[in-house]
């Protein structure tokens, strides 16, 4: 276990102060109809409970994760915790300086690029996707906004691709897909709902988002991530290497849990992630993800109008909402935080921030397809934002079962 408190983050502060940005946003939240929450403002939050955070990480190890870690950035003060190993073959301990695959947290990066294009007058959220990519989708009513809010009705091709966890992964580990091949896999199935009628998570939406980025800019998504987000924020650990298979530099290995109980974990670190691309192929670190979401909520990446649109929530369940490439989670202490979850083979990521961007946490367990670890890692948010002030079990009613939607959202596994 490693738990530390560091003084004011001068390097991070210098980066943020150097940005040519619009003024920081107020700590407010746009609520789902009938939903009332309190926006998380770091200056009013209880102190993070690091002992509780350590306990959550140790529980994840007991449930099968080789390693788990978390970093809390609290208005310049840094706290870290880590348990277990990054590499089972060497026994090297996991560390919050390690890079890792962030899975669907990539969706927030893709959305920021597209919303910047809206700010530049190059994209209309309520225009048909087919007006930019003629003939791509089977229904002209599917808009860019529907895609970014998972309301397009486009079937998620990963339901079939990963119906069997390890065989599905091994079949695509080294494969390189085109965007159109992935969309074709989706369109082999009918729409799950009429455009705009319902929230239904689908990786296909953010494959389409990547196609829009490349069509509107004339550049690869890698170039746009780099120019619009990575370089301006000084993100030293954030990469889009597709179709390369290796994670650059020091990193934690990922270990995929097979469907068969008791089967050995599969080292899933090296893969193209071509099955996800702009929906989930980025690499980052706890520091960089905290920097990204903090800058986003502080108004450093989008205009106030676009950020407000990003936080127009569609209900997911009784404690979660989804905006445009952004999740809202309502914690037991009555506070709502925003960010994204990420699952890619061997990695579970939670990256969330207060709505004023002053306190952020990124937590990682280096396994996946393990429902117990998934649910446990969600509790890192309680420790980081609620401290010791969470409600006691049962006082708020049972929370919905934690279930990652990021891979094969319609496939139910214990």
Q: Which of 89, 104, 268, 354 is catalytic?
A: 104
Whole-number Å distance between alpha carbons of 272 and 172: 8
Tokens 């301006």 sit at which residue?
A: 232
| Cis, bond preceding 243 (omega within 30 deg of 0) | yes
A 10 A CB-CB count for 168 gives: 20
Beta bridge partners of 77: 74
Long-range contacts of 218-221, Cβ-Cβ distance < 8 Å, separation of 24 or more = 221/110, 221/113, 221/277, 221/278
Whole-number Å distance between alpha carbons of 209 and 88: 36
Whole-number Å distance between alpha carbons of 307 and 409: 27
Q: How far is CA 92 from CA 61, 70, 305, in A?
A: 15, 17, 46
A 10 A CB-CB count for 172 gives: 19
Beta bridge partners of 67: 84
- The first and second tokens of residue 365, run together, are 């367990």
Among this protein's residues, is 104 annotated catalytic?
Answer: yes
Tokens 């490439």 sit at which residue?
A: 325
H helix intervals, 162-202: 165-172, 179-187
Non-local (6+) Cβ contacts of 73 within 8 A are: 9, 12, 287, 290, 291, 294, 359, 360, 361
159: left (phi over 0), alpha (psi -120 to 50) or beta: alpha
Secondary structure (3-state) at 353: strand
DSSP 8-class letter at 154: -
Whole-number Å distance between alpha carbons of 390 and 409: 29
158: left (phi over 0), alpha (psi -120 to 50) or beta: alpha
DSSP 8-class letter at 100: E
Tokens 């003629």 sit at which residue?
A: 134
The residues assigned a catalytic role are 104
């Amino acid at each position: 276990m490693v738990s530390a408190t560091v003084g004011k983050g001068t390097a991070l502060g210098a980066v943020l102060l150097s940005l040519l940005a619009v003024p920081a946003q107020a700590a407010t939240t746009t609520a789902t109809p009938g939903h009332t929450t309190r926006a998380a403002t770091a200056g009013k939050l209880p102190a993070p409970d690091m002992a509780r955070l350590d306990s959550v990480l140790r529980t994840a190890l007991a449930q099968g994760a080789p390693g788990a870690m978390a970093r809390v950035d609290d208005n310049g003060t840094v706290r870290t915790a880590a348990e277990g190993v990054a590499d089972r073959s060497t026994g090297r301990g996991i560390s919050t300086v390690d890079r890792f695959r962030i899975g669907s947290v990539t969706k927030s990066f893709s959305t920021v690029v597209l919303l910047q294009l809206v700010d530049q007058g190059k994209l209309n959220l309520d225009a048909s996707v087919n007006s930019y990519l003629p003939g791509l989708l089977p229904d002209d009513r599917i808009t860019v906004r529907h895609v970014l809010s998972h309301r397009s009705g486009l079937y998620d091709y990963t339901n079939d691709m990963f119906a069997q966890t390890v065989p599905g992964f091994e079949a695509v580990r080294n494969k390189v897909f085109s965007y159109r091949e992935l969309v074709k896999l989706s369109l082999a199935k009918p729409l799950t709902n009429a455009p705009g009628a319902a929230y239904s998570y689908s990786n296909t939406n953010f494959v389409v988002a990547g196609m829009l980025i490349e069509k509107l800019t004339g550049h690869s998504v890698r170039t746009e991530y780099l120019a619009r987000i990575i370089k301006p924020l000084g993100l030293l650990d954030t990469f889009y290497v597709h179709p390369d298979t290796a994670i650059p530099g020091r990193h934690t290995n990922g270990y995929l849990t097979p469907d068969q109980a008791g089967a050995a974990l599969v080292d899933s670190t090296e893969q193209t992630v071509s099955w996800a691309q702009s929906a989930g192929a980025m690499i980052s670190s706890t520091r960089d993800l905290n920097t990204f979401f903090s800058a986003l909520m502080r108004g450093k990446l989008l205009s106030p109008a676009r950020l407000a649109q990003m936080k127009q929530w569609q209900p997911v369940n009784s404690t979660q909402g989804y905006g445009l490439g952004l999740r809202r989670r309502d914690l037991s202490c009555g506070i709502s935080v925003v960010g994204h979850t990420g699952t890619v083979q061997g990695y579970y990521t939670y990256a969330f921030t207060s709505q004023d961007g002053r306190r952020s946490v990124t937590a990682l367990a280096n396994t996946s397809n393990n429902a117990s670890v998934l649910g446990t890692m969600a509790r890192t948010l309680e420790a980081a934002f609620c401290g010791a002030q969470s409600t006691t079990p049962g006082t708020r009613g049972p929370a919905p079962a934690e279930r990652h939607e990021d891979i094969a959202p319609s496939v139910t596994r214990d």
